[in-house]
Amino acid sequence: MTDRLSAGGVDAVIVADPIHLGRGNAFAVAEQQFSSLGVRVEAASGDYTEPDYPVFGLPQLLDSMWVHRSRAMTKAKLTQMAADGYFTGGKVPFGLRAEAIPGVYPNYSKPPKRLVPDDTVVPVIRDAFDVYIKLSLVRATQDFLHEVTAETWSLSRPRRFLSNPVYEPIVGMETFQEVQRLFADKVTKKSRNT
């Protein structure tokens, strides 16, 4: 943005609310930087609609643009972090733990995290996949997991567990793909019988 302002031709930057330029003292810093470029910073206030033409006022327009841009930037950042192997939030999958990665983003208050297998639970994960391959029953996998973990396993949880690609490196590509093939075969058989 400062490159465009330095090029000239911009007299003012209008923001719906000063906080949209930055939090804390960031607004004052931005205002000072813009001022050094000969650009005024104006906070939109009042109603900028014409009396006979009801449209969004300038503050509402700027607010909505800021919200959409922030949402898109956040989604893009989280998508990229997930693609890079970082844990971006939510419930940590069974048998894994979120481990901080120090030094990756030194200016962040909390370092990003990666999911790493809990070595004490890896054999249980592998055995659960083997149970499903042998019996082809989610219920059998559910019973096994309940018995060895003492956790509550609804009928849908083992299916999500067996379908989650985060477990592929733990159980191996062949085992993971075999379970997915068995799921697909069951869906195909069900649709033929319907």
Per-residue pLDDT of the chain (194 residues; tens, 9 = 90+): 667 777 777 777 777 666 666 666 666 777 778 788 888 877 765 554 455 444 455 556 666 677 788 888 888 988 888 887 788 888 999 999 999 887 776 676 778 889 999 999 999 999 999 999 999 999 999 999 999 998 999 989 999 999 999 999 999 999 999 999 999 988 776 666 65
Q: What is the pLDDT of residue 53?
A: 45
Judge whether 117 lies within some domain.
no
pLDDT at 37: 82
CA dist., res. 79 & res. 2, Å (int): 27
**Model pLDDT, residue 62:** 62
* The predicted structure's pLDDT at residue 1: 64
Amino acid at 54: P
What is the span of the domain harbouring residue 179?
A: 122-193
Q: What is the pLDDT of residue 69?
A: 83
Burial track 156-172 (b if 16+ CB lie within 10 A, e otherwise): ebbeebbeeeebeebbe
Q: pLDDT value at position 150? A: 83
Q: What is the pLDDT of residue 189?
A: 67
The answer to the question of residue 76 being in a domain is no
Tell me what pLDDT residue 100 has: 87
Q: How many domains does the chain have?
A: 2
Is position 97 within any domain?
no
Instruction: Give bridge partners of residue 14 from the DSSP assignment.
Output: 42
- 20, 35, 60 — which closes off a domain? 60
Confidence (pLDDT) at 111: 80
The verdict on residue 31 lying in a domain is yes
- 110 occurs within a structural domain: no
Establish if 69 belongs to a structural domain: no
Residue 73: both structure tokens together: 């930037």
Cα 160 to Cα 8, 48, 132, 171, 178: the distances in Å are 56, 51, 13, 15, 15
Q: Is residue 28 part of a domain?
A: yes
Per-residue pLDDT, 124: 97
Residue 91 lies in a domain: no
